[in-house]
């Protein structure tokens, strides 16, 4: 069985907005020694999730739609897990942070 999936690029504006919001929340608490790493990690994780969502949208009505949807949901859960972890670490402790991070990370798998 073959299927054609039209590819679309994630809207760059959406990715940039996600990156900006996350960085604005985290930046004041990020130690100077980790700022380059955070500047590289946040756009990578955000782009991964945006690309997975774009592939899902592009696959609607095809044989791979279910797989693409699962990938997009997993990407969103991974972003949530990383955002919870980073927020708890750099923006202030969250109640039950360890449990929330662990559950969201496992759900992303």
Residues 29-54: pLDDT tens digits?
999 999 999 999 988 888 888 888 88
Q: What is the pTM of this model?
A: 0.76
Kindly tell me if the per-residue pLDDT of 9 is higher than 70. no
Distance separating alpha carbons of residues 52 and 72, to the nearest angstrom? 5
Q: DSSP states of 2-48 as a string?
A: -------PPPHHHHHHHHHHHHHHHGGGS-GGGHHHHHHHHHHHHHH
């Amino acid at each position: 069985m073959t299927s054609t999936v039209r590819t679309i690029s994630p809207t760059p504006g959406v990715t940039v907005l996600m990156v900006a919001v996350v960085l604005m929340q985290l930046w004041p608490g990020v130690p100077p020694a980790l700022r380059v790493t955070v500047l590289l990690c946040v756009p990578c994780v955000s782009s991964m999730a945006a690309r997975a969502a774009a592939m899902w949208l592009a696959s609607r009505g095809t044989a791979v739609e279910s797989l693409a949807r699962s990938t997009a949901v997993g990407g969103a859960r991974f972003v949530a897990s990383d955002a919870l972890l980073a927020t708890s670490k750099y923006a202030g402790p969250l109640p039950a942070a360890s449990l929330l991070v662990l559950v969201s990370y496992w759900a992303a798998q």
